[in-house]
Amino acid sequence: MTFFEQLVAKTEAQRQYLLSAPIISEALAGKVSIDQYVAFLTQAYHHVKHTVPLLMACGARVPEHKEWLRDALAEYIEEELGHQEWILNDIAACGFDKEQARASKPAMATELMVSYAYDTIARNNPLGFFGMVHVLEGTSIALADSAASEIKTSLALPQKAFTYLTSHGALDQEHVKFFQGLMNRITDADDQHAIIHAAQRFYHLYGNIFHSLSAEHGLAKIRDQQVSA
């Protein structure tokens, strides 16, 4: 097997934990409320805004003999710039206050996932960050387009409320092809172990966000204030 195939096989059990979150099946069936959708977007904002800083931190720690990986990280940075603003605009298109979303605090599960990402880069092998890339981009391909379509229909929201989901469904297909090529160039056993280990952890950490997601993690109170005003 290629290393990418090993990565997929050795993280399948953890992937199933993520996919077992009830809100995922509800989203794919078009059964989520607008508050749940905005809660998802709010938590997405709180981890996506760290994507570029994490890529930069990882790139800074890549050793010189892996300069080709630093070049790849630079490409990722160019692709990922500003995506957190897409999410805030989606929140606004749902009728919520994006600036209050920007100023809100992440849920515990979101904060822990982001913290682990920084810790992996700083304390362990920086290549472990690719475990997070695998989890987030792979999940986007599997779920984003389908979930966006069902939620849009069930909630009668405008297309501009789904910029983040629809763009990532298509965009990440290209990213995963690029990612597969990168992973298959990694031959060092320690690097491979670090990426698999991190991916297993990130499936649980990202899964915890979905398993614990509720309207309270979004902007329900803001919406109530807008309505009462």
pLDDT band at 221; cut points 50, 70, 90: very low
Q: What is the pTM of this model?
A: 0.90
pLDDT band at 127; cut points 50, 70, 90: very high
Average pLDDT over residues 122-134: 95
Q: Using one digit for the tens of pLDDT, what is the confidence trace for 28-37?
A: 888 889 999 9
| Token pair of 30 as six digits | 């078009």
Q: Is 200 within 8 Å of 10 (Cβ atoms)?
A: yes
The pLDDT of residue 223 is above 60: no
| Token pair of 154 as six digits | 């069930």
The pLDDT of residue 226 is above 50: no
Which residue, 24, 17, 16, 13, is CA-closest to 213? Answer: 24
Q: Using one digit for the tens of pLDDT, what is the confidence trace for 90-118?
A: 999 999 999 999 999 999 999 999 999 99
SS3 state of residue 106:
coil
Q: Using one digit for the tens of pLDDT, what is the confidence trace for 13-71?
A: 999 999 999 999 998 888 889 999 999 999 999 999 999 999 999 999 999 999 999 99
Q: Give one DSSP letter per residue of 30-99, joined into a string.
A: T---HHHHHHHHHHHHHHHTTHHHHHHHHHHHS-GGGHHHHHHHHHHHHHHTTHHHHHHHHHHHTTS-HH
Distance CA 95, CA 156 (A): 12
pLDDT band at 212; cut points 50, 70, 90: very high
Q: Report all structural domains of the chain as residue ranges with CATH numbers, in order of start.
A: 3-220 (1.20.910.10)
Average pLDDT over residues 70-99: 92
Residue 169: per-residue pLDDT: 56
Cβ-Cβ contacts under 8 Å for 99 (sequence gap 6 or more)? none
Residue 219: per-residue pLDDT: 63
Q: Using one digit for the tens of pLDDT, what is the confidence trace for 157-210?
A: 999 999 988 876 555 566 778 889 999 999 999 999 999 999 999 999 999 999
